[in-house]
């Protein structure tokens, strides 16, 4: 079922960065070509002298929200200016969430979990959605420094396929101790401030900021540009260093061109990732040279702003729009003597010259590469695309719970016994190569074990091409240990290993390395709906090559139970709640295979009241439900028990369904990725004939959001 | 084998979580980075932290770092020559 792929316009832009607030201030600063990188003063450190960073002097408005949220809201309001509508979805790339606030609370010994309620990455997207009146999907991607670009890529797919008409997407990150000391511990910070592509460059400058793009398929009166295409790839090479030849980066650039139906010669300017680290700039220039001719104007703005991490790709997309609007090329601020080894020609002074199409590069930890092509509005192309929201075929499954791997977990489930608990780390890792996982802590080990088991269960030699990972809370052990060591050593000895492991996408990066998965690699973080968000991302990005063997992916979700952090962060875990963790997921492909089981995400919406009409409609209506549906697995997180139960009651009453309902959290225990285990439970029930395989199983989530996954035989 | 080298072997196993390796199995003169132990740049940085914390020796230069971490024996030598915490 192919259809026309819709054109996606930029209707509004919000930007706040160390360069200033708003497009005009940003353009003015870029034309001045001065670096605004200066010694840190956003928070105090015991380190002297403070390292140079890119920081925002003043955030408009007064707010008690964490800094990342505040920056995102400023950008969101600017982007929405002049539009009375509410976007259909909000997609935010972030790596820091509420961590700066959390760091202060932890240092003061705060034990009240309510104070930590904005720690989670998902709260940034939720807060922004609320501020702009969006009651649709509020999604979060966390792929380190490519997050903002990946968020815009996801919005692009959603809009092109007709799933939404208006999407607000971009990235936001604030400075915090984790990133400030973390990059320093990796010796990646230039003590003089970053000067990308300069022969004497010594590293990056950590920065902060936010940019959001209001994107639409309805041509606005004054469009600011078009997003033509995107390309994602994974190096599958190293957790923190780029592939030395820039192999993954080149692949993402080519995919973005291909996706935009452009040739390399059609690009007028590349906004480079250009962090200023010796390795990044060298690898990126090799990648650029392998795709483009040498004289193409290129520049990195990170010598002016610093590296805004998850925000950087969105900030640079906004700057790409300025380039197109004003026929202007920003300079590679800070570069005095271009590195002859790089063999690219950075723009050394701001220039005015015609620009019709810009390529914007973003790369991150975990070997995550994302590129966007942004063009003037009059660029016209007609494309076709595959169908979205079609069922994904399940080739292999795996789960892990407190009682063991898939086999032990399912045996407990069938025996009506609890699976809840914390599996000892030795059993978690018993099938993983000890040497390769020695640096990894609990979260990454659970995820790696799930990927290996799902691959094994598929019986296929070939591992999947892409990785879509969900996690409510990410690498809690590494985050805790990093901050703990930092504090205990009087801010002197943070651990580089813990910093690299602390990023949300560390597990997905490790899976890519272990399984040589060089396709798209996205980590989503949506609280109790992280698995559903990962499924949604897979659905968006697997569409392009539906018939190819490469259109296959791991779709997994995992969370670790952490004695200190879990009760503080997860509202469903009280201090007295026994800790539970684990996860689950599949080896999936887009190609339909008769006889195989499939999964489809039918519904994902914010829960605004307890009327079930939209859920019933999304599941095909009352009659279809009664005819096809055999079992329900319902997930109601403890923090949402009363409203969740009421919703479920209303749903069964209005749909007239009289079928078994299994409350799966009673088996799995309370943790954010429990729905991933439930998904595997559903497949297990159908495969083993424990339920009628001709009927569908629904895995429903009721709480902050209302979600539905449908499992059926094809 | 001297005391410092033996101590460094134990520290290496601990901070890099080389749980399947015993101190006796580590050859102090073997290539450290990219050798049999599978040690990479991130491990080196973790060792940099340990060397500064435990011996007061700062290594923040890539060129020096490459020499110092070429073998465990070279690391022990460098610490011995530069540590204010060790009486030579």
Q: Domain holding B64: CATH number?
A: 1.10.1200.10
- Residue A544, pLDDT > 60, answer no
Q: Which residue in A492, A496, A501 has the most chain B C-beta atoms within 10 A of its own C-beta, making it the best mutation to test that interface?
A: A496
pLDDT at A545: 57
Smallest Cα–Cα separation from A34: which of A355, A361, A362, A350? A350
Give the confidence band of B85 by pLDDT, cuts at 50, 70, 90: confident
State mean pLDDT over A679-706.
96
Residues in chain B, overall count: 88
Pairing of strands A89-93, A137-141: parallel
Q: What percent of chain A has pLDDT over 90?
A: 90
Interval A598-608: pLDDT, tens: 999 999 999 88
Question: What's the pLDDT score for residue A510?
Answer: 97
Q: Summarize pLDDT for B11-43 with one digit per residue, the tens.
A: 999 999 998 899 999 999 999 998 888 899 899
- Residue B60 has a pLDDT of 84
Q: What is the ipTM of this complex?
A: 0.93
Q: Taking CB atoms and an 8 Å limit, are B49 and A435 in contact across chains?
A: no
- In the structure, what pLDDT confidence band is assigned to residue A3 with cuts at 50, 70 and 90? very low
| Size of the A and B interface in Cβ pairs below 8 Å | 44
* Helix and strand totals (H; E) in chain B: 4, 0
| Highest mean pLDDT of the ranges A61-70, A306-315, A547-556 | A306-315
* Average pLDDT of the residues in A468-486: 98
pLDDT tens figures, A348-359: 999 999 999 999
Secondary element (H or E) of residue A137: strand A137-141
For A464-499, letters b (16+ CB in 10 Å) and e give: bbbbbbbbbbbbbbbbbbbbebbeeeeeebbbbbbb
From residue A191, alpha-carbon distances to A37, A95, A419, A539, B50 in Å are 11, 23, 51, 43, 22
Q: Is the pLDDT of residue A418 over 90?
A: yes
Residue-wise pLDDT tens digits, A495-523: 999 999 999 999 999 999 999 999 999 99
Whether pLDDT at A387 is above 50 = no
Q: What is the reported pTM?
A: 0.94
Q: Distance between alpha carbon A135 and the CA centroid of its chain, in Å?
A: 20
Chain A: give the shortest CA distance to residue B88, in Å: 26
Q: Do domains A3-385 and A392-713 have the same CATH topology?
A: yes
- Specify the 3-state DSSP secondary structure of A118: coil
Q: Are strands A629-635 and A696-702 parallel, antiparallel or unpaired?
A: parallel
Asked whether the beta carbons of A465 and A587 are under 8 A apart, the reply is: no
Residue A549 is predicted with a pLDDT of 64
Confidence class of residue A247 from pLDDT cuts 50, 70 and 90?
very high
The whole-number pLDDT of residue B19 equals 87
Nearest by CB to A496, which of B18, B49, B62?
Answer: B49
Tell me the average pLDDT across A180-188.
Answer: 96
Domain assignment present for residue B32? The answer is yes
**pLDDT, tens digit (0-9, with 9 covering 90-100), for A446-474:** 999 999 999 999 999 999 999 999 999 99
CATH number of A392-713: 3.40.47.10
CB B6 within 8 A of CB A420: no
pLDDT(A388) > 60: no
Chain A residues inside the 8 Å CB shell of B62 = 187
Question: How far is it, in rounded angstroms, from Cα B46 to Cα B43?
Answer: 5
B77 in any annotated domain: yes
Q: Which two tokens stand for residue A153?
A: 């890529």
- pLDDT above 70 for A386: no
Helices (H), A92-146: 99-107, 122-131
Q: Residues of A near B (CB-CB distance < 8 A)?
A: 185-187, 238-241, 434-436, 438-439, 489, 492-497, 500
Domain of B78, in residue numbers: 3-82
Q: What is the per-residue pLDDT across A331-340, written as a single tens digit (0 to 9) for each?
A: 999 999 999 9
| Total number of domains constituting chain B | 1
pLDDT greater than 70 at residue B88: no
Tokens for A125?
């997207």
Note the pLDDT of residue A546: 57
B23 located within any domain: yes
Q: Which residues of A touch B16 (CB under 8 A)?
A: 438-439
For chain A, domain boundaries: 3-385, 392-713
Residue B88 counted as domain residue: no
A chain contacts of residue B53, beta-carbon cutoff 8 Å: 489, 492-493
pLDDT, residue A568, reads 97
Torsion of CA B63, B64, B69, B73, to 10 degrees: 140
SS3 A661: strand
CA distance B17 to chain A (A): 6
Residue A40: the pLDDT is 97
Chain A hits for B38, Cβ within 8 Å: 435-436
Contact A332, A274 (CB under 8 A): yes
- In whole angstroms, how far apart are CA B33 and each of A183, A446, B24? 21, 28, 18
Give residue A268's Cα distance to chain centre. 29
Of A241, A494, A495, Cβ closest to residue B41: A241
> Is residue B34 domain-resident?
yes
Q: What pLDDT score was predicted for residue A375?
A: 96
Minimum Cα–Cα distance from B62: chain A residue: A187
pLDDT of amino acid A1: 33
User: Is the Cβ pair B20, A492 closer than 8 Å?
Assistant: no
**Preceding amide of A49 cis, omega within 30:** yes
Q: Which residue has the tokens 């989503």?
A: A524
CATH hierarchy code of domain A3-385: 3.40.47.10
- CB atoms A495 and B20 under 8 Å: no
pLDDT digits (tens, 9 = 90+) for A646-661: 999 999 999 999 999 9
The mean pLDDT value for A363-368 works out to 94
What is the overall mean pLDDT for chain A?
A: 94
Whether pLDDT at A582 is above 90: yes
Question: In chain A, pLDDT over 70 holds for what percent of residues?
Answer: 97
């Amino acid at each position: 079922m192919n259809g026309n792929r819709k054109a996606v316009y930029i209707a509004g832009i919000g930007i706040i960065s160390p360069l200033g607030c708003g497009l005009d201030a940003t353009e003015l600063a870029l034309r001045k070509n001065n670096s605004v990188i200066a010694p840190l003063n956003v928070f105090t450190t015991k380190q002297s002298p403070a390292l140079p960073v890119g920081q925002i002097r003043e955030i408009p408005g007064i707010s008690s929200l964490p800094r990342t949220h505040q920056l995102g809201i400023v950008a969101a309001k600017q982007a929405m200016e002049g539009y009375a509508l509410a976007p259909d979805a909000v997609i935010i790339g972030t790596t820091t969430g509420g961590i700066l606030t959390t760091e202060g609370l932890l240092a003061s010994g705060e034990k009240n979990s309510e104070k930590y309620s904005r720690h989670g990455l998902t709260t940034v997207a939720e807060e922004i959605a609320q501020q702009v009146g969006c009651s649709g999907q509020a999604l979060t991607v966390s792929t380190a420094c490519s997050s903002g670009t990946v968020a815009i890529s996801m919005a692009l797919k959603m809009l092109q396929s007709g799933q939404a008409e208006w999407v607000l997407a971009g990235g936001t990150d604030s400075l915090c101790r984790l990133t400030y000391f973390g990059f320093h511990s990796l010796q990646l910070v230039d003590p003089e401030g970053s000067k990308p592509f300069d022969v004497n460059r010594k590293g990056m400058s950590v920065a902060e900021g936010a940019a959001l793009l209001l994107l639409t398929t309805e041509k606005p009166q004054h469009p600011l540009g078009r997003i033509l295409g995107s390309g994602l790839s994974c190096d599958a090479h190293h957790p923190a260093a780029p592939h030395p030849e820039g192999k993954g980066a080149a692949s993402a650039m080519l995919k973005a061109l291909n996706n935009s139906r452009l040739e390399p010669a059609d690009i007028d300017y590349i906004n480079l990732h250009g962090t200023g680290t010796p390795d990044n700039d060298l690898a990126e220039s090799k990648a650029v040279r392998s795709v483009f001719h040498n004289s193409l104007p290129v520049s990195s703005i990170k010598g002016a702003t610093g590296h805004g991490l998850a925000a950087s790709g969105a900030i640079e997309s906004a700057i790409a729009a300025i380039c197109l609007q004003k026929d202007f090329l920003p300079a590679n601020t800070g570069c005095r003597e271009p590195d002859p080894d790089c063999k690219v020609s950075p723009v050394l002074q701001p220039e005015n010259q015609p620009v019709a199409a810009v390529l914007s590069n973003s790369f991150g930890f975990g070997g995550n590469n994302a590129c966007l092509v942004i063009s003037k509005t009059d660029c016209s192309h007609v494309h076709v695309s595959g169908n979205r929201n079609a069922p994904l075929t399940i080739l292999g499954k795996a789960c892990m719970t407190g009682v063991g791997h898939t086999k032990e977990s399912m045996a407990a489930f069938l025996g009506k016994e609890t699976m809840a608990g914390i599996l000892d780390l030795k059993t978690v890792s018993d099938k993983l190569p000890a040497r390769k996982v020695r640096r990894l802590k609990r979260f990454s080990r659970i995820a790696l074990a799930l990927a290996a088991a799902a691959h094994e269960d598929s019986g296929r030699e070939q591992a999947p091409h892409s990785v879509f990972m969900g996690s409510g809370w990410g690498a809690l052990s590494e985050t805790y240990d990093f901050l703990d060591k930092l504090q205990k050593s009087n801010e002197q000895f943070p651990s580089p290993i813990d910093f690299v492991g602390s990023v949300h996408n560390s597990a997905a990066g490790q899976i890519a390395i272990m399984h040589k998965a060089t396709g798209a690699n996205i980590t989503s973080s949506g609280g109790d709906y992280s698995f559903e968000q990962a499924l949604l991302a897979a659905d968006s990005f697997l569409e392009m090559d539906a018939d190819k063997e490469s259109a296959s992916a791991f779709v997994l979700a995992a969370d670790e139970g952490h004695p200190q952090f879990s009760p503080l962060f997860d509202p469903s875990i009280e201090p007295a709640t026994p800790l539970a963790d684990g996860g689950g997921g599949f080896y999936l492909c887009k190609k339909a295979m008769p006889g195989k089981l499939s999964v489809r995400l039918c519904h994902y919406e914010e829960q605004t009241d307890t009327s079930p009409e939209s859920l019933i409609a999304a599941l095909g209506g009352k009659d279809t439900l009664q005819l096809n549906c055999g079992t329900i697995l319902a997930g109601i997180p403890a923090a949402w028990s009363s409203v969740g139960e009421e919703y479920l009651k209303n749903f069964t009453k209005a749909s007239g369904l009289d079928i078994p309902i299994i409350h799966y959290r009673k088996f799995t225990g309370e943790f954010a990725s429990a729905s991933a285990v439930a998904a595997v439970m559903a497949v297990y029930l159908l495969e083993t004939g424990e339920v009628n395989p001709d009927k569908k199983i629904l895995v429903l989530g009721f709480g902050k959001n209302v979600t539905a996954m449908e499992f059926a035989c094809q | 084998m001297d005391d410092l080298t033996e101590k460094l072997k134990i520290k290496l196993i601990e901070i890099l979580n080389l749980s399947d390796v015993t101190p006796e199995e580590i050859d102090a003169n073997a290539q450290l980075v990219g050798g049999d132990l599978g040690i990479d740049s991130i491990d080196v940085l973790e060792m940099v932290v340990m060397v500064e914390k435990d011996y007061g020796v700062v290594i923040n230069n890539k060129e020096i770092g490459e020499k110092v971490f070429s073998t465990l024996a070279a690391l022990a030598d460098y610490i011995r020559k530069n540590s204010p915490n060790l009486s030579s």
